[in-house]
């Protein structure tokens, strides 16, 4: 098991580059299954989730070459259409591979995805959408078998703006007969990035980033080179790490447009924020103001930033309220913060956080990706030594997090704990 060992209390300051977006990389890597021509991708983060997704593509028969700053994926010789169960369970986003496999091969076999334990995370919206596209679905021995003669474009109304379901409908519809129109689509920037990448291959997708998306089926796709967007959640995490330790940071390779609600909350907390093209500068106050934050689908406050904001509010100057509307089990990190001296009460979907003067280091356990990052941030702002265990969760979604925090002046190191 791997742990981070943190000695808290340092002010974090300096300049740091955000990596490519995990949540754009995963569906964009999946989209290469649709294209038998080589696709060159830039800015793909070197994290566990992208490694597992690339591993699955290799097992399915895709040729993957990775050198310094790019990955070339060629799925010309891909023959297999069944995703190995053990790899499916390693991460939830593998479910969008299904849409791409069905889109190209008109059949796919996969199992229920795994992923962080932040909620039930059903895939009913994905499967209902596949059925609307004319795909038959049989469930047998824990496997889901999908097949169809052809995919016929349809109007699909999503009852919830599911990111993954929106991505899966787009991927399954690229080669459809006619056009597919999604009403109630998710508007996350990662969906816009997926559509931009697919359109650079010759797909015809309009309206991505809004709740109304139309995909006109095409006959073929061609080779492309594409640089994916930067990671807005990593950017927010790095800004919060500085906001709670009283320093000044410039995050480069960032896109403030995708993070406005988080920047607004940081401003409300007393941070000075300035934006200049792909740079976001933050100057932290001595002590943060308390705020109320409520997660919503994009462009609302992102659920992935909820644990990280919860952590930095533990030492704010009063009572803050954090409400989680997207996932039903995304407060597990708060028990660990209480062990570090935080004053937090959970009432249903809401945390009430009373700011304290001091937090103290403890041995704490990551229970999911963003909750783990929240514990790292709490260690940075606590007195003494904090050991964050089970950081394998964190390594799934953050590229070189400890290295980046050290570059900003944090006293943090990674250790193997037997």
List active site positions.
Answer: 116
Interacting residues of 240 by C-beta distance below 8 A, sequence separation 6+: 266, 305, 308, 309, 311, 312, 377
The rounded distance, in Å, linking the Cα atoms of 188 and 232 is: 11
**Strand pairing report for 179-183 and 155-157:** parallel
Q: Tell me if residue 365 falls in helix, strand or coil.
A: strand
Q: For the segment 217-256, give every residue that binds ligand EPZ (CB under 6 A).
A: none
Cα angle 363, 366, 369; round to 5: 155
Question: Which of the stretches 18-26, 36-44, 60-68, 252-260 binds ligand EPZ when contact is defined by CB under 6 A?
Answer: 18-26
**Strand pairing report for 39-42 and 224-227:** parallel
300 binds ligand EPZ (CB under 6 A): no
Question: Which of the stretches 98-106, 123-131, 306-314, 352-360 binds ligand EPZ when contact is defined by CB under 6 A?
Answer: 123-131
Residue 129 or 250: which CB sits closer to ligand EPZ?
129
Binds ligand EPZ (CB under 6 A): choice among 89, 121, 145, 332: 121
Binds ligand EPZ (CB under 6 A): choice among 104, 126, 181, 192: 126
Residue 22 or 90: which CB sits closer to ligand EPZ?
22
Binds ligand EPZ (CB under 6 A): choice among 47, 284, 326, 378: 326
The rounded distance, in Å, linking the Cα atoms of 309 and 240 is: 7
Binds ligand EPZ (CB under 6 A): choice among 71, 125, 146, 172: 125
Cα angle 230, 73, 216; round to 5: 75
Is residue 353 within 8 Å of 323, Cβ to Cβ? Answer: no
Binds ligand EPZ (CB under 6 A): choice among 3, 73, 92, 102: 92
Binds ligand EPZ (CB under 6 A): choice among 165, 239, 284, 408: 165
50 binds ligand EPZ (CB under 6 A): no
304 binds ligand EPZ (CB under 6 A): yes
Is residue 14 within 8 Å of 281, Cβ to Cβ? Answer: no
151 binds ligand EPZ (CB under 6 A): no
End-to-end CA distance of the chain: 6
SS3 content of the chain, % helix, strand, coil (to 5): 35, 30, 35
275-279: Cβ within 8 A, 24+ apart: 278/230, 278/252, 278/253, 278/254, 279/250, 279/251, 279/252, 279/254
119 binds ligand EPZ (CB under 6 A): yes
Cβ atoms within 10 Å of 390's Cβ, excluding its own: 17
Residue 21 or 382: which CB sits closer to ligand EPZ?
21
Cα 307 to chain centroid distance, Å, stands at: 13
Binds ligand EPZ (CB under 6 A): choice among 6, 60, 144, 163: 163
139 binds ligand EPZ (CB under 6 A): no
Nearest approach in angstroms of CB 379 to ligand EPZ is: 19
Cβ atoms within 10 Å of 413's Cβ, excluding its own: 12
**# residues near ligand EPZ by CB under 6 A:** 28
122 binds ligand EPZ (CB under 6 A): yes
Residue 316 or 374: which CB sits closer to ligand EPZ?
374
The rounded distance, in Å, linking the Cα atoms of 418 and 411 is: 22
Q: By beta-carbon distance, which residue lies closest to ligand EPZ?
A: 164
Is residue 104 within 8 Å of 175, Cβ to Cβ? Answer: yes
Binds ligand EPZ (CB under 6 A): choice among 124, 139, 150, 403: 124
Residue 8 or 307: which CB sits closer to ligand EPZ?
307
45 binds ligand EPZ (CB under 6 A): no
Residues at the site binding ligand EPZ, with contacts judged by CB under 6 A = 22-23, 26, 92-93, 116, 119-126, 160, 162-165, 186, 188, 303-304, 326-327, 369-370, 397
């Amino acid at each position: 098991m791997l742990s981070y060992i943190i000695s808290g209390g340092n002010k974090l300051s300096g300049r740091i580059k955000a990596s490519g977006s995990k949540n754009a990389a995963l569906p964009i890597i999946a989209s290469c299954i649709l294209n038998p021509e080589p696709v060159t991708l830039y800015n793909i983060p070197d994290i566990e989730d992208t490694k597992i997704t690339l591993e699955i593509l290799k097992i399915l028969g895709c040729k993957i070459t990775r050198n310094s700053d790019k990955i070339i994926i060629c799925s010309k010789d891909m023959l297999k259409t069944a995703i190995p169960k053990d790899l499916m369970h390693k991460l939830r986003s593998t479910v969008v591979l299904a849409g791409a496999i069905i889109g190209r091969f008109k059949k796919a076999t996969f199992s229920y995805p795994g992923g962080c334990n932040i909620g039930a995370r059903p895939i009913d919206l994905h499967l209902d959408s596949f059925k609307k596209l004319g795909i038959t679905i049989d469930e047998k021995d824990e496997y889901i078998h999908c097949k169809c003669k052809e995919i016929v474009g349809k109007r699909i109304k999503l009852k919830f703006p599911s990111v993954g379901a929106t991505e899966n409908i787009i991927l399954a519809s690229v080669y459809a007969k006619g056009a597919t129109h999604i009403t109630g689509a998710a508007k996350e920037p990662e969906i816009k990035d997926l559509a931009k990448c697919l359109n650079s291959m010759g797909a015809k997708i309009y309206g991505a980033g809004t709740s109304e998306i139309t995909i006109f089926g095409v006959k073929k796709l061609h080779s492309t080179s594409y640089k994916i967007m930067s990671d807005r959640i990593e950017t927010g995490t790095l800004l919060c790490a500085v906001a709670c330790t009283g320093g000044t940071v410039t995050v480069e390779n960032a896109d403030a447009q995708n993070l406005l609600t988080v920047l607004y909350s940081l401003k409300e907390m007393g941070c000075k924020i300035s934006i200049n093209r792909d740079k976001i500068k933050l100057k932290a106050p001595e002590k943060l103001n308390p705020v109320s934050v409520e997660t919503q689908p994009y462009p609302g406050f992102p659920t992935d930033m909820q644990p990280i904001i919860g952590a930095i509010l533990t030492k704010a100057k009063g009572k803050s309220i954090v409400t989680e509307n997207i996932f039903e089990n995304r407060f597990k990190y708060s028990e660990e913060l209480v062990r570090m001296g935080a004053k937090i009460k959970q009432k249903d979907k809401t945390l009430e956080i009373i700011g304290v003067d001091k937090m103290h280091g403890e041995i704490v356990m990551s229970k999911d990706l963003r909750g783990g990052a929240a514990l790292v941030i709490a260690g940075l702002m606590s007195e003494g030594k904090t050991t964050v265990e089970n950081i394998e969760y964190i390594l799934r979604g953050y590229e070189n997090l400890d290295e980046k925090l050290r570059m900003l002046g944090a006293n943090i190191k990674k250790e193997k704990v037997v």
